[in-house]
Amino acid sequence: MQTAITPTGSVEVAKVDKFGIGLELRKFKNPNNSINYPALFDIPKDQRIAAMAEMDLGATIKIVTVALTLALETMNLKRGMTAFQVLDLAEAIVDEAGSDNLAIEDLMLFLQKLTRGEYPEMFEGIDQLKFMLRFNKYRDDRWEAGIAIRDAKVEEYKRLGDSNDFERANPRDASSFGLQLEHFRQKSQERKDELKSRKQ
């Protein structure tokens, strides 16, 4: 997607290899086309949005802007978003991405769902509030999938005879999971409260 960013910083979505993006996203899908969450969770931390932003905030926001612009131009929206609104949305996504370690692939998979009509009400019109409500639902589903995967690992170790094996084999994961879960719950509630206040 970086090829769509011109030397002046503007976005030319015509330069994006849409076919190549589709092929890349297949790496993060199951044969039934559902999301392969374990593959997403295996993306190295330094390749996730928050880490990318730490290295180069401007470039990261531009990449997210390209992804959003590509998706929105693909949709036949009755009421779209201006370039400034898209940029503002991109900044919001980058700002919040660290709370649950989102990767660019997470965003692209969500946008693929969006452009393929999984959220038909969005074709009437889209703004930051509507987008974030749906995107936060994706993030909630992603987090629940992560919990289910971890619980399955714990159960597997229990079946092998020692419920403490998981903590010994995965000390970093086991010791920080509770804190990560509580942090995510707080962030999720803050997002919901903020979106609720905007509606009023």
SS3 per residue for 16-85:
CCHHHHHHHHHHHECCCCCECHHHHHCCCHHHCHHHHHHHCHHHHHHHHHHHHHHHHHHCCCCCCCCHHH
The CA distances from residue 89 to 31, 61, 126, 177, 193, in Å, are: 32, 9, 11, 29, 18
Do the Cβ atoms of 48 and 101 come closer than 8 Å? yes
**What is the pLDDT, as a whole number, of residue 180?**
52
pTM of the predicted model as reported, rounded to 2 decimal places: 0.75
Residue-wise pLDDT for 7-45, tens only, equals 666 666 677 778 888 899 999 999 999 999 999 999 999
Flag whether pLDDT at 111 surpasses 80. Answer: yes
pLDDT per residue as tens digits for the range 56-91:
999 999 999 999 998 988 887 778 888 899 999 999
